[in-house]
Amino acid sequence: MRLHRQIMAARPYPGATKRADGFARLALGTLDAVTGLRRRDANRTAELRFVARLIDCEYWGGLRACRAYADRVRSVYAAERSVSDYPVTKLVIEQLARAMLIPDVVFCCSTAVRPDRLRDIERRLRASRANGDRVTFRIRGRARSTPIQRTIGGYWKMTPTLCKAVALARWVRLVPGWMQEESRYRRWVIDLTDRCAQELPEKASLWLEVMRQLSRVQGHGSHRVRSVRAARRAIDSVLELAAESAVATGPQPASGVSASGNPVPARGSKNAAGE
């Protein structure tokens, strides 16, 4: 996280240092708010995963996307305080980020030229800039735009400089119909997370199963679209079964009152006649 703050502060944008400080405050504030989760996570797996996903959100949509992600993680954690191990919060940390980070060409180019990843790539390939070696990315992009009714896709060879230029083109997400299926899935998962925070901890087992079903979404392109549809069908069936069982069970009568509304004497107590 400290390294990413330095990367943000070094960007040639006006107010880069201010945005870097805002990211650091957001990350540290969220980690301070989920202290119970951190205490029960011996290997710090959930904490490290949250920080990594928060950095991905910053590359995807800046501080606005980071705040949307962090606020929902905090709300689910606050609603799940009565649970000892916070299983739903751990799943939300991963599955919410996977849904919010739409893998469009802008995000792929942004993550491809991350300084830490560029260093890893050069180290694996044993490439040296001093010797004139250059890294070229082969990025697969696919998007369908409603106005032109065309699917733009294919494999594109891009240099790091070109990737940095494409990473600045976030405005393409405003084009009507851009990544339409992914955008609908993103909004749907966000609504599910908000509903989860409202219904916890009473329905913890239900939402644990729902978040597990979200892990069925895998792959990219057409394979990801098929897995998204399968996950949505599975989750809709789980929620429908839960709603039907709740209707069949009905509200439970209050303690000391029978189903007909008559008072029920406590066990071992005597009635008015002393019997």
Q: Please list the rounded mean pLDDT of every run of 10 residues in the chain (275 residues).
A: 66 75 86 81 82 89 90 90 78 91 84 81 79 74 54 68 83 81 90 90 87 85 83 89 78 47 49 44
pLDDT value of residue 189: 93
Cα separation, 105 vs 169, whole angstroms: 10
Half-sphere exposure (Cβ direction) of 209: Cα atoms closer than 13 Å: 11
- Kindly report, residue by residue over 161-190, the tens digit of the pLDDT: 888 888 888 888 888 877 788 888 999 999
Cα separation, 60 vs 110, whole angstroms: 8
- Whole-number Cα distances in Å, 109 to 101, 124, 144, 188, 206: 13, 19, 18, 25, 37
pTM: 0.77
pLDDT value of residue 182: 86
User: Which of 183, 173, 206, 197 lies closest to 73, judged by CA?
Assistant: 197
Query: Taking the CB of residue 81, how many other CB atoms lie within 10 A of it?
Result: 13
pLDDT value of residue 255: 45
pLDDT value of residue 39: 76
pLDDT value of residue 68: 93
- Kindly report, residue by residue over 190-213, the tens digit of the pLDDT: 999 999 999 888 888 888 899 998
Whether 55 and 4 have beta carbons less than 8 Å apart is answered as yes
pLDDT value of residue 193: 92
Q: What residue segments make up the domains of the chain, in order of their start? A: 105-173
List, in sequence order, the alpha helices (H) in the chain: 2-9, 16-33, 35-39, 45-79, 87-100, 105-112, 115-125, 160-167, 180-199, 204-214, 221-249
- What residue type is 38 in one-letter code? R
Measured at the CA of 2, the angle between CA 100 and CA 116, to 5 degrees, comes to: 70
